[in-house]
Structure 1
Amino acid sequence: MAALFRDINYHVSTSHYAFTSPSSPSAPTLIIDRPTGDVRLNDGTSLGGKRVSSIAGILGMIKLRLDKYIIVITKAQPMGRLKGHMVYKIIATEFLPLRERPLHDQDEDMYLALLKRLIKSGPMYFSYSFDITNTFQRQSKSDPSTPMWKRADDRFFWNKFIQSDLIDFRTSGARHQHGQQPGADPYILPVIFGMLEIVQTRIKSTPLTMVLITRRSRHRAGTRYFSRGIDEQGHVANFNETEQIIILNDSMSGLGGFAGGGGMQNGKVGGSGGKEVQIMSYVQTRGSVPVYWAEVNTLHYTPRLQIRGVETAVSAARAHFDEQIKLYGDNYLVNLVNQKGREKRVKEAYEQMIKMLVSSPTEGTQQDQVSDEKFRIVEPDGRRSEMDQLHYVYFDFHNETKGLQWHRAQLLLDQLHDALERQQYFRGVDMPADLDGRLEVRNSQTSVVRTNCMDCLDRTNVVQSMLARWALNRQLTDLGVLSRGETFTSDNDFEILFRKLWADNADVVSKSYSGTGALKTDFTRTGQRTKAGALQDLNNSISRYAKNNFADGPRQDAFDLFLGTYLPSTSSNLVFADRRPILVQSIPYVLAFAVFLVSVGTLSRRPPNSLVWPIRIFILAWVLVAAWCFNFIYSNGMLYVNWPKLNPRPWATEGVNEALGKVRKDKVVGSFVGAHERGLSTARFLNAEEGKKRIE
């Protein structure tokens, strides 16, 4: 297998960009012609260029409205070694335009700004010699001689769409170079989006490496209220796979050593002190409830919940769970939504879906003084079909942990105890004589716990950290590091590290979806629910409200652009223009002006002999204007949500048009608002469909 190039120089000329590896002078040069973007390989030295720069890798290529750009990684931060393979985090990138003098227009500039903001804020990781898109268990079944981009898990190959030009060239060639082009393999760099931390530590004097990786799926990726439920292909929103890894007798971790220096085989440092290198991993998943549902922003704190008929989503849910069962085996579906209030409809829809999927479902409920329905279990009666590997477990998390009684979440682990015992975990032993780094598999994980709440964030994080704690105690006991009945809480330093890793994971997953850190992380970090933590949760909740209503539209547009679910059109123009009626656009400004005048009139010092009543009337008049403006905005909130503009949501289009119809009937302003539709044209759904076909 050709290893990925760690050192790449790119040469700039008026006719092309040339990419070479100084450490591999005999390797072919990758040429990308300007301005066409045609890709080819050139044997021998690179063609001349005016400027030479060093980069860490090629993130991909993307075509926007007027030009195509090569996105290169200019700075990467080492995060640590996994079995001797260095893992990096992307810190900085650069966009290389194919035109000598790029044309500027408003949409093109906005596209670039969205992409740059996403890449800068999104935690993305890669390795030149280790496949971080796959769990250790999946890696043990793959062929290490296959190029890394082919082995990569399609769900977590985050930059696959923007690598499609290089992948197409590799698999099919170009006009003047037909057939497969294996010389392009070292340039195709898979990247994951999520969380990755590698820490060297010890427990009870036993040194080990602790690793936590969360991989976010590129399918149906997006923001909290603009990406919910399931799509027709069976992809659910906010799907994340979290792998907790411990490595014993690993002398190859840490940040020491040069990633491309001597004594390495494919980037792997040799030698482990003679002892077997033990790798143990435990995998969990999370994902949105797999039915067609949405929460519609209206500027109210609680969005409006929409659930389409469960029957229409059966084929999509079957496709989703078919993939999950093939990948993970039995799925234990832990549902943590509330059994009362608005969340009840989501709970009932999920349960109805499971009953429709499994054959001969049997139900059981448990209740106590705290909750009318503490648990609800839906199990298949036997194994007549593949879907009978689904096991639904509802836990009334809200009622059971109410009043800061978070220790009662342990009840869920007690309920799952037998399933967790059967589930096992992955255990492999490094084979020093194997230059490809294969593991000898001693044990495999046979099932997975798939956890969800409404957002798959806060409650989910708490439960996942508890499951990870249970699995880690079991692994350390099986290794003999802990004695029977002992837990790692006896080692205070390791306990603090474990809590920090899982709290960091909670914050990263939450920030990428909701825009803020997770709630309830005080419990994850300290093991206790505190009043200070509750105040922090209040702050995060207010921030979420503001971001979800006024900032998530552009974030969703950035996801759609980067992942290829929207393809910029050369014919459309001013996609991001605000097409609401001028009067509707102006009301927030009138409100701000009214608040300003009321503040000035109230706080300004008046001369002693000045008349009071004119000032009071003036202030009262503007208070009434401000109150009317505020009421108008709040009553017609859908007109003021910052919606995604590239792939308009159908329910958003319907809601905005309905709100405009309501405004036209308003006795005060209706005559000033003509027949008008906001710029949420359904014609742009064609671009969304074209993008879906492209990434397929």
Structure 2
Amino acid sequence: MPSIARKLLICAAVDGLIIQPLATKGQRAQQPVKVKYGDATISSLPRDQPLETPKPNSSFEAFGIVGLFTVSRLSYLITVTGRQQVAQIRGFPVYVVTDVALTPCTSQADAELAIANTATKLRRASADKFVDDSDSESEVEGPSFSGGDDTEDPGALSDRETSENKDVSEVGGERSSIAEDVIKRRGSYGRFAQRWFSRKGWMMDQKRNMGLSNLVTDGPGSPTNKPKNGSPERELSEAVTQEGVDPPSTPSVGESLMPKLLRFAHIWLGTSRSFYFSYDVDLTRSVANRSSTTATTNLPLHQQADSTFFWNQNLMRPFQGTGNDSIILPLMQGFVGQRTFVVDRHPPQSDSQEDSMEMADMSPPPERNTEFFSPERASVDLRSSEKKFVITVISRRSTRRAGLRYLRRGIDDNGHAANFVETEQILSTPSWEPTSKIFSFVQVRGSIPIFFTQSPYSLKPIPVLQHSSEANYRAFKKHFELLGNTYGAMQLVNLVEKHGVEAIVGNEYEKMVQRFNEQKAEDSQPLAFEWFDFHSACRGMKFENVSLLLDTLGKEIEEASSTVEKGDQIERKQKGVLRTNCMDCLDRTNVCQSSFGKFMLDLQLRGEGFDMSAQLDQENSWFNTLWADNGDAISKQYASTAAMKGDYTRTKKRDYRGMVNDLGLSLTRFYNGMVNDYFSQAAIDFFLGNVSSMVFDEFEATMMSKDPGVSMSKMREQAIETSQKIVIEDDKEDFIGGWTLLSPNTSDTIKTSMFEEVVLLLTDTALYLCRFDWKLDKVSSFERVDLAHVVSIKVGTYITSAISPAETDESRNIGLVITYEPGKFDIKRTNTRSLSSTSGQSDQISGKDIFGEPTKAPAAVSGILNQAILNAIAGKPQSQSHPPRKIALKALYSRTAVSETKDVKKMTENEQINVIATEIERLVFLSQPIPGDSERKSIVEKGDIISLAEAKKSTGILEQWGHSIKKLVWA
């Protein structure tokens, strides 16, 4: 870690970056802090408290600290510079983050320049706001150090749709054309539309990505309009510090991707408007869950927060244990929205259109004009039979198995489902007085809790089931045990198709539920399962048929009821929870969840003496818009676009305009899934602490990101165990060890374009090369080589690609080649039934000898040795008539982005290969005795298998160009 960042951690440096509280406030609220770096200052103000007038461009006001992250030798402090109030809960404001600043901490010169630039831009934005107050809604808003054009970046997460950009047809009024919708509301179509419909367009963005844009600064010492060769992020991230830091000889891959990481961090944490916070209220817990922490209310918010929904917990770790816990501000990703409405116990009975419109005028205005009432203003201008309520929707996205659409599906080993969201609907009075009841209704959504994947290279990809039934059930059981402990009884609502490609996972889901209920403990509750084929029931745009689902589940929802709090005491607690899913848990799920929420709202108001069916305002646009905004927010965070079927959620009507809109969203999701999501997923995993910064080295090599939620070490242990049970059929063979290595996908080959992970087993008499189907946990084929036939072993550098720096590191790319002379006991067997996820047929293993010819052993004879004897009797050719064969093996990388996050000591690649070679040689000598006292020569030879120079020569120009083009697009 750089010295400056280390000084930050101990808070003891005089000339470095120091964090010190400015004033003392309650422990629950964040304290104002001053972060000083030389003559530059960042002042953090959670409240609107004045500061002493600073020197020009020496400081800027921040509303909170998000955290600190480090990649290689570069560290950045993230602070909140823009916020907008979106709700008030219990009298305390709730904010959405609208902008952040990223300040480099490695170099004092860079830090001062970044602070000066941020201060200048914020002051300019503040002046513009003073001239035109309608220009911005946020209290402090404007581009931070990362640049003001990021909202139009093609790799950006698009902003949540603002009320001024909404189509008037969604909230009533004049309709506009589809073209106008697309251009005006391009943000809802995500990153793809932002690129094509931005005012700067495609080419300007390409120039910026190639470092051709100009940087204009007004800071001290920076001449205005002076052209520079790159973006601010690139200049600052490439700066090499000399403050006691010994930099590497060459920049790491992680540093080369730093400009893209900074743009992503600025957009994801700031301008995407997807992160929410409060200084006084714990947003990560529902009303029912919050009641269990009442005894610890004097603790700081970050110690009360539920880690499942605490998104910047990892970024805040450098500040923990430093005596500055008060500056840790928990952020929650998801949605917070609030609307006010008025109901009447005795509504006037009038059918006239004028009266209806007059009543409709009482509904709250769009979100930008939503008022947050003080207690004394809560009930003004209301008739005696009328009452004003506030409805608040809070959606909390889980940090477990977090990520983007096709890269995070199904479940992980720990039972965490992808796109898991807890949505709480709160009904209260505007003043939240203790004498009034507070109603809380919680629902959850999440991916189908089994192992499956879908390819992003198709508009409607076929789900592919993964792993064995036992592995699926173990994770499935963990998932529902976790949910049961948190929420109680479970009502599962499955919205996928009963026929077609979606039925593959739907049927498996149903089987798992049945097995769970059959094997459940006596004191546990069964899972209630309802399969509602949404597409079939609502075919022909008849989305109103969702009422059929309510007819089925209405009684269960009413029995589960909701949590009721009065006077800070829980009078009634919700008995169970609805878990809803479709394939993405976005569009169909949001439509049904909004219907469940409306059903519960009607029940709650009926208990208070208000009949919603008798109100003149039958449209309930305030409710529909709130839930549509919620659906859009969750969809953008998972699929990078607004939710489909949003027109029905907003208006309860469906027409051709909605179908055209959904087509555009589908194409945008398709593009994002193929191109943008891979780097974004790697960055999300890095910020959450699931992987180390080494993930960017791995991304640069393959342009892909791995799933840290699936334990590869556990999978490899299980693969070795499974292979051992299947292939070692002779009980007389003593098992020595097993390893997972890389090998060419073609036998008897050293050079190949494709490598696969295989299992190598070693016994006292033979070695087995098992080709394993990792998706299905099955052995697809294996080769048996008698140790008596091994001739030589070569150990050395094994470069399989010269494209990326990681692949050309000679110290990490080590392998061995085993040369043997085929004999009658050397067998190759292949699984001829490969086990697709839809097969359902029994496996059949057919045998082949090592020369590739099929064996003709009787069905009763299954042993490998018996089969080999039959081959010999049948006159199969022996080793002397065939040339030697080779088995090439390469060590897996011992250090990965996932393994580096754990304190596990592993052997290096060179140590692992030497251990395998030495053990094979020892057993070969035992199986090949030599007569007399002859001196035995080692069969292990040191030398390059494929040297770096040879690999570079064999790397073609087209391969290099292909990787460069892919890197240009993906990275």
| Counterpart pick for 1:428 among 560, 565, 575 | 565
State the partner residue of 2:517.
Answer: 358
CA spacing shift, 1:661–1:408, aligned 2, 3 Å: farther
Residue type at the aligned position of 1:112: L
CA distance in structure 2 between the partners assigned to 1:279 and 1:684 by the alignment: 54
Higher relative contact order (CA 8 A, sep 6+): 1
CA spacing shift, 1:676–1:646, aligned 2, 3 Å: farther
Q: 1:74-120: CA deviations, max 9, x gaps? A: 22212231110111111111223222256614133333233223213
State the partner residue of 2:16.
Answer: 15
State the partner residue of 1:390.
Answer: 527
State the partner residue of 1:481.
Answer: 610
State the partner residue of 1:94.
Answer: 101
Residue type at the aligned position of 2:474: S
State the partner residue of 2:163.
Answer: none
The answer (yes or no) to whether the contact 1:244–1:468 under 8 Å persists in 2 is yes
CA spacing shift, 1:34–1:313, aligned 2, 3 Å: farther
Deviation at 1:14? Answer: 3.8
CA spacing shift, 1:519–1:685, aligned 2, 3 Å: farther
| Counterpart pick for 1:134 among 274, 285, 296 | 285
TM-score (norm. length: structure 2)? 0.50
The answer (yes or no) to whether the contact 1:67–1:97 under 8 Å persists in 2 is yes
State the partner residue of 1:65.
Answer: 72
The answer (yes or no) to whether the contact 1:195–1:508 under 8 Å persists in 2 is yes
Deviation at 1:240? Answer: 0.3
CA spacing shift, 1:428–1:678, aligned 2, 3 Å: farther
CA distance in structure 2 between the partners assigned to 1:412 and 1:404 by the alignment: 16
Higher mean C-alpha deviation, range 391-400 or range 447-456: 391-400
CA spacing shift, 1:537–1:489, aligned 2, 3 Å: farther
Q: 3-state DSSP class of the match of 2:531? A: strand
Matched, 1:223 2:407: no
Matched residues, percent identical? Answer: 28
Residue type at the aligned position of 2:96: K
CA distance in structure 2 between the partners assigned to 1:323 and 1:90 by the alignment: 31
CA distance in structure 2 between the partners assigned to 1:332 and 1:149 by the alignment: 32
Correspondences of 1:384-423 after superposition (within 5 Å): 384-386=522-524, 388-423=525-560
State the partner residue of 1:161.
Answer: 314
Correspondences of 1:270-309 after superposition (within 5 Å): 272=433, 276-297=435-456, 299-308=457-466, 309=468
| Counterpart pick for 1:643 among 698, 701, 704 | 704
Correspondences of 1:186-205 after superposition (within 5 Å): 186-204=326-344, 205=386
TM-score (norm. length: structure 1)? 0.69
CA spacing shift, 1:34–1:293, aligned 2, 3 Å: farther
State the partner residue of 2:692.
Answer: 567
Q: Which runs of 5+ in 2 are unaligned?
A: 1-10, 39-51, 111-235, 239-254, 345-385, 716-740, 756-798, 808-891, 905-971
CA distance in structure 1 between the partners assigned to 2:465 and 2:482 by the alignment: 24
Residue type at the aligned position of 2:16: S
Q: 3-state DSSP class of the match of 2:662? A: helix
CA distance in structure 1 between the partners assigned to 2:60 and 2:15 by the alignment: 15
Deviation at 1:158? Answer: 1.1
The answer (yes or no) to whether the contact 1:114–1:554 under 8 Å persists in 2 is no
The answer (yes or no) to whether the contact 2:513–2:529 under 8 Å persists in 1 is yes
The answer (yes or no) to whether the contact 2:699–2:705 under 8 Å persists in 1 is no
Matched, 1:211 2:392: yes
Residue type at the aligned position of 1:305: P
CA spacing shift, 1:145–1:578, aligned 2, 3 Å: closer
Residue type at the aligned position of 2:507: E
CA distance in structure 2 between the partners assigned to 1:74 and 1:404 by the alignment: 44
State the partner residue of 1:247.
Answer: 428
Deviation at 1:32? Answer: 8.1
Deviation at 1:20? Answer: 2.4
CA distance in structure 2 between the partners assigned to 1:148 and 1:508 by the alignment: 25
CA distance in structure 2 between the partners assigned to 1:124 and 1:28 by the alignment: 20
Q: 3-state DSSP class of the match of 1:130? A: coil
Q: 3-state DSSP class of the match of 1:296? A: coil
| Counterpart pick for 1:112 among 254, 262, 274 | 262
Deviation at 1:29? Answer: 9.4
Q: 1:334-370: CA deviations, max 9, x gaps? A: 111111111111011111221222236xxxxxxxxxx
Q: 3-state DSSP class of the match of 1:140? A: helix
State the partner residue of 2:590.
Answer: 461
CA spacing shift, 1:563–1:523, aligned 2, 3 Å: same
Correspondences of 1:454-603 after superposition (within 5 Å): 454-482=583-611, 486-487=612-613, 490-492=616-618, 495-569=620-694, 575-577=698-700
Deviation at 1:305? Answer: 2.5
CA distance in structure 2 between the partners assigned to 1:211 and 1:501 by the alignment: 9
Deviation at 1:691? Answer: 3.7
Deviation at 1:677? Answer: 8.6
CA distance in structure 1 between the partners assigned to 2:585 and 2:542 by the alignment: 21
CA spacing shift, 1:531–1:65, aligned 2, 3 Å: same
CA spacing shift, 1:237–1:689, aligned 2, 3 Å: farther
Residue type at the aligned position of 1:320: H
The answer (yes or no) to whether the contact 1:157–1:192 under 8 Å persists in 2 is yes
Higher mean C-alpha deviation, range 469-478 or range 86-95: 86-95
The answer (yes or no) to whether the contact 2:339–2:623 under 8 Å persists in 1 is no
Q: 1:109-144: CA deviations, max 9, x gaps? A: 333233223213251000001111100111122122
State the partner residue of 2:418.
Answer: 237
Number of residues of Structure 1 aligned to a counterpart in Structure 2:
528
CA distance in structure 1 between the partners assigned to 2:644 and 2:894 by the alignment: 36
CA spacing shift, 1:25–1:528, aligned 2, 3 Å: closer
Deviation at 1:489? Answer: 6.4
CA distance in structure 2 between the partners assigned to 1:329 and 1:124 by the alignment: 28
CA spacing shift, 1:688–1:292, aligned 2, 3 Å: same
Residue type at the aligned position of 2:459: Y
CA spacing shift, 1:310–1:19, aligned 2, 3 Å: farther
CA distance in structure 2 between the partners assigned to 1:166 and 1:208 by the alignment: 40
Matched, 1:686 2:686: no
Q: 1:372-394: CA deviations, max 9, x gaps? A: xxxxxxxx8xx7143x3421111
CA distance in structure 1 between the partners assigned to 2:901 and 2:309 by the alignment: 18
Deviation at 1:251? Answer: 2.7
CA distance in structure 1 between the partners assigned to 2:18 and 2:329 by the alignment: 18
Residue type at the aligned position of 1:480: G
CA distance in structure 2 between the partners assigned to 1:277 and 1:658 by the alignment: 69
The answer (yes or no) to whether the contact 2:72–2:693 under 8 Å persists in 1 is yes
CA distance in structure 2 between the partners assigned to 1:573 and 1:334 by the alignment: 38
Higher mean C-alpha deviation, range 140-149 or range 204-213: 140-149
State the partner residue of 2:491.
Answer: 332
CA spacing shift, 1:159–1:574, aligned 2, 3 Å: closer
Higher mean C-alpha deviation, range 24-33 or range 239-248: 24-33
CA distance in structure 2 between the partners assigned to 1:556 and 1:643 by the alignment: 9
| Counterpart pick for 2:507 among 337, 348, 351 | 348
CA spacing shift, 1:25–1:514, aligned 2, 3 Å: closer
The answer (yes or no) to whether the contact 1:286–1:450 under 8 Å persists in 2 is yes
Q: 1:639-675: CA deviations, max 9, x gaps? A: xxx6338979999xx9xx98997899xxxxxxxxx96
Q: 3-state DSSP class of the match of 1:687? A: coil
